[in-house]
């Protein structure tokens, strides 16, 4: 009788040890998943880029260019993550009295496109036009 009760105590201690080890591993995996989850999935990247890609092309009307500028301004104001901020290079002639901001991540690009004109809108050339995660980071309006 005495041996049976010792066996039950030992078995209970082993089960309790296994439970504690499993719980520790589960907590570690959840914590490391949160820390390493800085990258975006392909769907998130596609959704982010789609906000801007709909305005790309040749002979884009000025009203659509101004809508793109508004979308970039809204995006830049709503995110704190510098890798998700988009810059615009406006290489067309600016209307009189309009100045274009220089610097990455500006949030106050003016709606400088004339509605009667058409523009070429595309992702800028160069390595810094896309982030390492595939996000659009620079747009050129010509």
pLDDT by residue for the chain (142 residues), tens only, comes to 688 888 899 999 999 999 999 999 988 877 766 555 556 677 888 888 888 888 888 988 888 888 888 888 888 888 887 778 888 887 777 776 677 676 655 667 787 788 888 888 888 766 666 766 778 888 888 8
CA 42, CA 10: separation in Å to the nearest integer? Answer: 50
pLDDT at 9: 92
| Token reading at 51 | 């906000």
pLDDT at 35: 53
pLDDT at 105: 55
| Token reading at 118 | 């058409």
For 61, which DSSP code? E
pLDDT at 127: 64
Pairing of strands 138-141, 118-123: antiparallel
pLDDT at 103: 60
For 103, which DSSP code? S
CA 54, CA 116: separation in Å to the nearest integer? Answer: 20
| Domain coordinates in residue numbering, the chain | 1-37, 42-141
């Amino acid at each position: 009788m005495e041996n049976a009760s010792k066996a039950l105590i030992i078995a209970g201690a082993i089960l309790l040890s296994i439970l504690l080890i499993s719980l520790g591993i589960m907590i570690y995996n959840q914590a490391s998943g949160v820390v390493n989850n800085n990258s975006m999935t392909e769907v998130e990247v596609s959704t982010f880029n789609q906000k801007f890609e709909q305005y790309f092309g040749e002979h884009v009307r000025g009203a659509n260019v101004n809508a793109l500028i508004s979308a970039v301004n809204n995006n830049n104001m709503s995110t704190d993550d510098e890798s998700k901020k988009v810059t615009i290079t406006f290489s067309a002639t600016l209307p009189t009295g309009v100045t274009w901001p220089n610097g990455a991540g500006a949030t106050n690009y003016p709606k400088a496109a004339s509605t009667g004109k058409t523009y070429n809108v595309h992702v800028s050339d160069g390595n810094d036009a896309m982030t390492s995660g595939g996000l659009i980071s620079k747009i050129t309006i010509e």
